[in-house]
Amino acid sequence: MASINLIDAFQDFKDAENLDRPTMMKVVEDVFKTLLRKKYVSDENFDVIVNAEKGDLEIIRRRMIVEDGEVVDPLAEVAYSEAVKIEPDFEVGEELYEEVNIYDFGRRAILAAKQTLASRISDLKKNVLVKKYADRIGEIISSEVYQVWKKEVLLLDDEGNELILPKSEQIPQDYFKKGENIRAVVARVDMKNNSPVIILSRTSPLFLAKLLEIEVPEIFDGLIAIKKIVRDPGERAKVAVESFDDRIDPVGACVGMKGSRIHGIVRELKNENIDVINYTANIQLLIQRSLTPAKISYMNLDNDKKQADVYLKADQVSLAIGRRGVNIKLACELTGYEIDVFREDEEQVDTFDIALDEFSDEIEQWVIDEFKRVGCDTAQSVLKLSDHELERRTDLEKETIAEVRRVLQAEFDKEDEVEETQEETPAPVAEVPVTEEKQAEEPEA
């Protein structure tokens, strides 16, 4: 039986991962049944038998032997006189199995079948590739640099599939050479000219998240959760983490002993500075932590407008903003608030304030601890906030908050009275004693 050079086509099937034999048989069968329908109108009485190992196939035609002159359907029936020409032992009522020569279809039809088969194989390969990498989006893969171009880098995975790392998805300090193995995260699968294009990324927050998952077992085990990651690739990154186990310090676990865990990630990201902070639902405290390494003096929040005015000492302002404004930009992205940084006024620096712990004889300690939990550790920090804001942030009742404000305000009123008294009271004038000479000089009334 002529193989019509199908071996190469079958080899393509073998090279395509996850293309099982039933799929291969079905595709080949469909291609040649289409060929049969074009020639014989129907393919009901034909069997297509594929030998995948040898790369050939057979087409068998089945017809029922009937008496001469009783043939109604030539596609399904054959006259007895025709059948005995093929095999003398045939009898009426038996089935005649006859092999169809592929060359009977004609050279043009055979070439069309080969092209259709190659096209179907190509489509199946594309579908397999799309499905494979669509399921791996967000995973880190290692691949080899095959070609470096100006706008992108062509990579090959272990199976020889082509992957693309665009310039926009590369860290600015990245430099690749042909044959080098690099790690990146699968960002997305695009279709270009009806062909799948696998896009990798080294700038995505997912890349940093997966690197942390590899380096920090507690994240992999689910004991520590990554709440949010924001990055300026190659410059700085901020990672908010939360622990589900009170015995585990999430920041310490991510950094490791003497930075052992974080250092490997920093090297992978070309010395990108990584700030790991402890996540909290208290937005004031989260903003304070997100502006690390700067230390905040105090802040004013507008939760409705998602606005935060942060006041710092003069030497802390540049730290809060960061080089090219990167630090404050990432803090805004991490917290979701628009943060404005202001230099602390000299008058504000000198404002009289009292630590809440100084009022422990008038305010119960658990109440003081509740205020300190939300970042209010001084009397001024409590009085700056409205009753409604304090009630919303703390778990205290209105009456308790009102009583605390009364105690604190009374202390400041007392201080103001002392200062006013000192200013209004005139300095004492020394009395000069009246001498006898003075008395003598005074005229008598």
Which CATH number covers residue 358? 1.10.150
Whole-model pTM? 0.60
pLDDT of residue 267: 92
- Could you list the residue range(s) of the whole structural domain that residue 221 is in? 206-272
Question: Strand locations in 68-222, DSSP E?
Answer: 77-79, 95-100, 140-148, 152-156, 162-166, 181-192, 195-201
What's the structural domain count of the chain? 5
pLDDT of residue 313: 87
Provide the CB-side half-sphere exposure for 375 (13 A, CA). 21
69: left (phi over 0), alpha (psi -120 to 50) or beta: left
Q: Are residues 15 and 109 in the same domain?
A: yes
Burial of residue 435 (CB within 10 Å: 0-12, 13-18, 19+) is exposed
Q: Are residues 36 and 114 in the same domain?
A: yes
Q: Please state the rounded mean pLDDT for residues 296-313.
A: 89
Q: Phi and psi at residue 280, in whole multiples of 5°?
A: -145, 150
User: Of the candidates 156, 168, 164, 157, which has an alpha carbon nearest to the alpha carbon of residue 189?
Assistant: 164
Q: Which DSSP symbol is given to 64?
A: E
For residue 80, what are the contacts with CB-CB under 8 A and spacing of at least 6?
A: 65, 66, 67, 68, 90, 91, 92
Instruction: Answer yes or no: are the C-beta atoms of 143 and 182 closer than 8 Å.
Output: yes
Q: Which DSSP symbol is given to 101?
A: P
Q: Are residues 92 and 82 in the same domain?
A: yes
Burial of residue 155 (CB within 10 Å: 0-12, 13-18, 19+) is buried
Instruction: Answer yes or no: are the C-beta atoms of 248 and 255 closer than 8 Å.
Output: no
Which amino acid, residue 431? E
CA 197, CA 186: separation in Å to the nearest integer?
11
Would you call 65 helix, strand, or coil by DSSP? strand
Domain membership flag for residue 425: no
Q: Are residues 155 and 125 in the same domain?
A: no
Residue 239's CB: how many other CB atoms inside 10 A?
25
Which amino acid, residue 365? Q
Domain membership flag for residue 2: no
236-243 and 224-232 beta bridge pairing: antiparallel
Identify the sign of the CA torsion 128, 134, 140, 145: positive
Q: Are residues 26 and 123 in the same domain?
A: yes
Q: Please state the rounded mean pLDDT for residues 305-317.
A: 89
Q: Which DSSP symbol is given to 306?
A: T
What's the CATH code of the domain at 81? Answer: 3.30.1480.10
Read out DSSP for 262-276?
HHHHHHHTTS-EEEE
Q: Are residues 215 and 308 in the same domain?
A: no
Question: Strand locations in 19-166, DSSP E?
Answer: 46-51, 56-66, 77-79, 95-100, 140-148, 152-156, 162-166
pLDDT band at 165 (very low <50, low <70, confident <90, very high): very high
What's the CATH code of the domain at 147? Answer: 2.40.50.140
Q: Are residues 287 and 317 in the same domain?
A: yes
Summarize pLDDT for 176-228 with one digit per residue, the tens.
Answer: 999 999 999 999 998 888 788 999 999 999 999 999 999 999 999 999 999 99
Burial of residue 436 (CB within 10 Å: 0-12, 13-18, 19+) is exposed
Is the pLDDT at 350 greater than 80? The verdict is no
Sheet containing 338-343, strands listed edge to edge, beginning at the edge strand earlier in sequence: 298-302, 307-312, 338-343
Domain membership flag for residue 182: yes
Domain membership flag for residue 441: no
CA 40, CA 25: separation in Å to the nearest integer?
22
Summarize pLDDT for 60-88 with one digit per residue, the tens.
Answer: 778 888 887 777 777 778 887 877 777 77
Q: Of 350, 385, 402, which closes a domain?
A: 350
Q: Phi and psi at residue 130, in whole multiples of 5°?
A: -60, -45
Q: Are residues 91 and 160 in the same domain?
A: no
pLDDT band at 351 (very low <50, low <70, confident <90, very high): low
Summarize pLDDT for 92-131 with one digit per residue, the tens.
Answer: 878 777 777 776 677 777 777 777 777 777 777 788 788 8
Summarize pLDDT for 393-423 with one digit per residue, the tens.
Answer: 788 888 888 898 888 888 777 655 545 554 5
Domain membership flag for residue 439: no
Q: Of 217, 246, 272, which closes a domain?
A: 272
pLDDT of residue 52: 59
Of 273-282, 375-384, 429-438, give the lowest mean pLDDT range: 429-438
Q: Which residue has the higher pLDDT, 311 or 160?
A: 311
Domain membership flag for residue 251: yes
Q: Are residues 268 and 359 in the same domain?
A: no
Residue-level length of the chain? 445
CA 285, CA 375: separation in Å to the nearest integer?
7
What's the CATH code of the domain at 307? Answer: 3.30.300.20
Summarize pLDDT for 152-164 with one digit per residue, the tens.
Answer: 999 998 888 889 9
Q: Are residues 251 and 221 in the same domain?
A: yes
Q: How many helices (H) and strands (E) does the chain have?
A: 17, 15
User: Of the candidates 276, 266, 341, which has an alpha carbon nearest to the alpha carbon of residue 307?
Assistant: 341
Domain membership flag for residue 110: yes
Q: Are residues 45 and 96 in the same domain?
A: yes
Q: Are residues 109 and 152 in the same domain?
A: no
Of 19-33, 67-81, 268-282, give the lowest mean pLDDT range: 19-33
56-66 and 95-100 beta bridge pairing: antiparallel
Domain membership flag for residue 443: no
Mean pLDDT of the chain: 80
Q: Of 84, 114, 130, which closes a domain?
A: 130
